[in-house]
Amino acid sequence: MIVATLAISACGHTLGAQDVASLIQNPDTVAVIIDPQLTPDEVYDDSVVIISPQRETTTFIHEDHTHDFHWEQFAIPAGLATASALFVKTPKLVQAREWVQSQLANKTGQPRTEVDDYIQYAPMLASYAIYFCGVKGEHNLLDRTIILAMSYATFAVVNHTMKFAFSEQRPNSGALNSFPSGHTGTAFVGAEFLRREYWHTNKWIGVAGYACAVAVAYMRVYNNRHWINDVVGGAAIGYMSTAFAYWLYPKIFRRRAALHREELLRRIDPEGQGAFTPLQQAPDRSLKCFATPYASTTSAGLSCILTF
């Protein structure tokens, strides 16, 4: 990975032609910004910007890629969710999942543990516990709360819609709400959220979140509460719900996304004396409306907050 080398004029010193030429030849040099009062996207007039000919994008010490769109992060889990749905009504596949159930489920037919009812929320709670312990992650408290709310709201809507549409009977009861697994999906929403927030900080945090989610999925089958395809479908939908929320967030909350970018720049230049110092802006006194979807077993709608 190429790390950007940024050369900034300071104390009245300016770079000569030879200095600039030597920087261009350096393969690690991505941008040279002469005016220290300007951020990289606001350079104009007599300021000098040099982009390395080997790479035509400016790359800084740390970039937030959590909102990037990659087709495979939706196509692959969507394929898994579709495949798991085929196990609901296809006779041969129904027989196959019943065989898997006989191998994995508790033979007594009664749940032996209820820990999965609680640890489904562990990845989500861990993300806040880590944050308040001083490990900040990618987003501040408000931004991550909005993203997490969007993730869970998306999953709740999709999950309840699919439970109603498929009306699949649970393996241990006559309840017609087996597919997909809500517990598993809830755990994977939190696990993917934890991974995106802390992957650049410590990859083991993301791994631990997914280990917890997989444990929830296994216990749902072991306790005979769900079929194997239920937990696979729930995991896929949970992952896609979080990925969708991260992709959608900067498109809805554009000002919040801009503030998030400024926060990243401050982390690079905490003293506010380098080229990353954001320009001062007048306070925004406009009326703001924040709305998030919600769903429960009895109702669904929008929760709105007005700020003025």
Consecutive 10-residue averages of pLDDT for the chain (308 residues): 38 49 51 46 43 39 67 91 94 94 82 87 95 88 92 96 95 92 97 93 94 96 94 97 92 71 58 45 54 67 64
Tell me which residue range forms the domain holding 16. 1-63
> Do 140 and 3 fall within a single domain?
no
Q: Which of 1, 5, 6 is nearest to 276 (CA)?
A: 6
Same domain, 145 and 57: no
Token reading at 70: 């990659």
Pairwise CA distance, residues 201 & 90, whole Å = 44
Bond prior to 293 in cis (omega within 30° of 0): no
Q: The tokens of 144 are what? A: 């991550």
Q: What are the tokens at 308?
A: 């003025």
Q: Do 103 and 222 fall within a single domain? A: yes
Residues 44 and 105 occupy one common structural domain: no
How far is it, in rounded angstroms, from Cα 41 to Cα 47? 12
Q: Are 301 and 294 in contact (CB under 8 A)?
A: yes
How many separate domains does the chain show? 2
Per DSSP (E only), the strands in 63-133 are none
Question: Do both 86 and 220 map to the same domain?
Answer: yes
pTM of the model: 0.66
Residue with tokens 């079929």: 227
Decide: 148 and 292 in contact? Cβ < 8 Å: no
